[in-house]
Amino acid sequence: MSETTLPTVLFVCVHNAGRSQMAAAFLTHLAGDRVQVRSAGSAPAATVNPAVVAALAEVGIDISAEVPKVLTVEAVQGSDVVITMGCGDTCPVFPGKRYLDWRLTDPAGQGIDAVRPIRDEIEHRVRALIEEIAPAVRR
């Protein structure tokens, strides 16, 4: 990352329908224009998990228009930080990239009561990531 470019974060999960969508939504919501955000999966689902959409709506984040996207080599190459969601998805490895694996429960097939703690854990991790890669300017 240079001083003049924004850090780019890619969240990866197999179906790009739950954890990676929540993480991308929180990072976009909380960091605003301080970070470029991407999410993708190796086998994207047709739609985002409805319980994930509902759980984020509860905290004021609307991802109802999001669509799962396929993981590309270009997305990995163009990212500074690549975060997998503990789903066993593998990404191409390139020098100079930072790779993290956030081991998180899979919300697939779960109701909103099971998704809420996953959402809250993702928010906690995203807030810590922002402090590390794009802290707010303090006056």
Q: Which are the catalytic amino acids?
A: 13, 87, 91
Asked whether the beta carbons of 25 and 11 are under 8 A apart, the reply is no
> Across the strands, what pairs with 81?
9, 98
Report the alpha-carbon distance of residue 57 to residue 93 in Å, rounded: 34
Report the alpha-carbon distance of residue 81 to residue 107 in Å, rounded: 23
Cα–Cα nearest to 69, from 32, 26, 38, 100: 38
For residue 57, the Cα-to-chain-centroid distance in whole angstroms is 16
